[in-house]
Structure 1
Amino acid sequence: MRRMSDEEEMQVNENSENVEAKQTNEQMEKSDTEDHKDHDGEHDNDEAEEGGSVQKDNVKEKMDKGKKTVPGILYLGHIPPRLRPSHVRTMLGAYGEIGRIFLQPEDKMVQRKKKKAGSRARNFTEGWVEFRDKRVAKRVAASLHNTPMGLRKRSRFSSDLWCIKYLHRFFWCHLSERLAYEQTVRQQRLRTEISQAKRETNFYLANVEKSQNLEKLRKKKEKRGESMTEKTWDFTQRRTEDEIRQSRLRKQAMSKKSLQKAQEKMCVIEEKAQSNVSLLAKIFNSSTEQS
């Protein structure tokens, strides 16, 4: 009986050891699975956070694309003397970001007259200013119109006023097209003037040559003793205003004379009619007396 108890104790110990080993293995497996789950959850959270940030960035980019800054152009109707594009940029640059500036210079004829007078100052007549954002351009046009250019009393342009207008649906390409059109028109005008001057000079030179040839012929004929017959122009000249007025007055005078003649004829006819009436009265009166 004692031997059996020892064997049983050995078996019980072995079974308990096996159970403990199984339990430890199960605990290790559970811990590993929990660790894997925790790591998986962290990875999922990180991926979710990254996906949310990417979506937010995409949304911001779309919003930025939807709200593109459209440039706006201002028209400057009055530009005082000694005002340059650098001055315009410094004055208006305080209100917003400025892109391109163009000031229309004076005509070349005016510049030539100034040079002859002794002044070499180059002035401008009108200008265009491009703002990066059209909303800023609208605000600037609404706030600065009819206000003094210089904020300080000692500035050059304190006595001058801004003449600004915002140009709706006007872009810089329109301005370049307009300038190109004006340049082409100017070139065409110069070409026509040059061609007309060439025609006049050629006509004058041809007439000079003709006159010289005619003089040579006349001198030759004079030496021979022959007479030179000059050609006459066979065409009717247009009447002047004085001649037209005189002809109208003559017509009116003729009409007055014709009226007078007609009145005289009517008087003669009436006299004859009265004489015939007297004769008829005598004839009929005599016939009544006899009856």
Structure 2
Amino acid sequence: MAPPKRNEFLDADSEDDQADGYNSEDEVAKGGRSGKRRKVDSDVERDASDAEDDGAEPHVDGGATEEREKDDAALKAKKAKPKLETGLPDITKPLTKKNLVATEKAIRKSGVVFLSRIPPFMKPAKVRSLLEPFGTINRTFLAPQDPAAHTRRVRAGGNKKRLYTEGWVEFVNKKDAKSACELLNARIIGGKKGSYYHDDIWNLVYLKGFKWHHLTEQISTENAERTSRMRAELSKAAKENKEYVRNVERAKMLDGMQAKSKKRKAADGEEERRAPPRETRTFKQAQQIQKAADTEEQPERVTRVLSKIF
């Protein structure tokens, strides 16, 4: 069929459009896309001011405002993530004070399962995916391998992947936790026959009366003890290091003093060898007067005179 020669839509006047009752909202409702711009608050205010200038009552397009509010609400609903309706902390967001608060009823209703052995190279996401069919899981925690053992294994040529030794899984309902332990404990993990964990065995134990805050308290206590021991060891090592440095400095000082004294003595000996020999002066000494001894005999003349007198 040949197209019409005249375009009635383009040739129509604006009054005819008003008379036909064309509305962009009808086209949007049918699934089409409107080419007209939606009115915003500034346009509504402009229309109201124009109406006031003309002397007529201002007219506010309530339909556009309502539609905009509906669209905003729908957009917020799409962006909002689904929240857990159990009363337990929402783990889809970073842990804060707000989402750490949990009701006592939800805590009493929850149950914790202990995994005494984690298959090699199994990650927390895999544990969650394997246990989620048996009940809703809220939180999981797997204890990593000791870093020293990991370093030794890597140096020996082993696998560099991270290993986990044990783990805890929190079920929203304790009945699901008990049933999961009864069904899975001491059984193979299964799944596809060629999967990596097909022949590994589950080691699950339901911890009666044990809640998640007990685990966090235990971990915080162990961390505090480890931190205190580390601080004590660091302070002891710092003291030993300071004493060692002091002794080294003292030894250096003594060695320097001995080297200086040796150098000084060597310099003095060199000067003595280089100096000319000194002349020795001699002085004439007076002869010593010797006294007669008391035991010496008196002369004969003295004896004769004394004999005559006495």
The TM-score with structure 1 as length reference comes to 0.51
| Of 143, 147, 152, the match for 1:108 | 147
Does residue 181 of the first structure (1) align with residue 249 of the second (2)?
no
For 1:67 and 1:137, how far apart are their aligned partners in 2?
14
- Aligned residue pairs: how many? 162
Which runs of structure 2 are paired with 1:68-83 in the superposition (5 Å)?
70-83=109-122
Q: Which residue of 2 aligns with 1:95?
A: 134
For 1:176-226, what per-residue CA distance to the aligned partner results, in whole angstroms no more than 9, with x for missing partners? 111111211222222222222212211111111111121222233334559
For 1:21-53, what per-residue CA distance to the aligned partner results, in whole angstroms no more than 9, with x for missing partners? xxxxxxxxxxxxxxxxxxxxxxxxxxxxxxxxx
For 2:259 and 2:208, how far apart are their aligned partners in 1?
77
Alpha carbons of structure 1 residues 164 and 195: separation in structure 2 relative to 1, 3 Å: same
For 2:105 and 2:253, how far apart are their aligned partners in 1?
82
How far does residue 115 in structure 1 lie from its aligned partner after superposition? 4.7
Q: Which residue of 1 aligns with 2:234?
A: 194
For 1:208 and 1:166, how far apart are their aligned partners in 2?
60
Q: Which residue of 1 aligns with 2:3?
A: none
For 1:139-174, what per-residue CA distance to the aligned partner results, in whole angstroms no more than 9, with x for missing partners? 211221100012332221122100000101100000
Which runs of structure 2 are paired with 1:31-42 in the superposition (5 Å)?
none
Which runs of structure 2 are paired with 1:1-291 in the superposition (5 Å)?
70-116=109-155, 117=157, 119-223=159-263, 225=265
Max radius of gyration: which structure? 1
For 2:115 and 2:124, how far apart are their aligned partners in 1?
12
For 1:209 and 1:79, how far apart are their aligned partners in 2?
54
Q: Given residue 169 of structure 1, which amino acid in structure 2 is its aligned partner?
A: G
Alpha carbons of structure 1 residues 121 and 67: separation in structure 2 relative to 1, 3 Å: closer
- The secondary structure found in structure 2 opposite 1:94 is helix
Contact 1:149 1:158 (C-alpha < 8 Å) held by counterparts: yes
Q: Which residue of 2 aligns with 1:59?
A: none
How far does residue 131 in structure 1 lie from its aligned partner after superposition? 0.8
Query: Tell me, which stretches of 5 or more residues in structure 2 are unaligned?
Result: 1-103, 267-310
Q: Given residue 97 of structure 1, which amino acid in structure 2 is its aligned partner?
A: T
- Higher RCO (CA 8 Å, separation ≥ 6 residues): 1
For 1:197 and 1:69, how far apart are their aligned partners in 2?
47
For 2:264 and 2:180, how far apart are their aligned partners in 1?
91
For 1:121 and 1:213, how far apart are their aligned partners in 2?
53
Considering only aligned residues, what root-mean-square deviation do their CA atoms show, in Å?
A: 2.6
For 2:105 and 2:219, how far apart are their aligned partners in 1?
32
For 1:217 and 1:176, how far apart are their aligned partners in 2?
61
- The secondary structure found in structure 1 opposite 2:109 is coil
Alpha carbons of structure 1 residues 67 and 188: separation in structure 2 relative to 1, 3 Å: closer
Alpha carbons of structure 1 residues 148 and 190: separation in structure 2 relative to 1, 3 Å: same
Percent identity over the alignment is 35
For 2:105 and 2:260, how far apart are their aligned partners in 1?
93
Contact 2:107 2:211 (C-alpha < 8 Å) held by counterparts: no
The TM-score with structure 2 as length reference comes to 0.48
Contact 1:69 1:132 (C-alpha < 8 Å) held by counterparts: no
How far does residue 82 in structure 1 lie from its aligned partner after superposition? 2.0
- The secondary structure found in structure 2 opposite 1:125 is strand
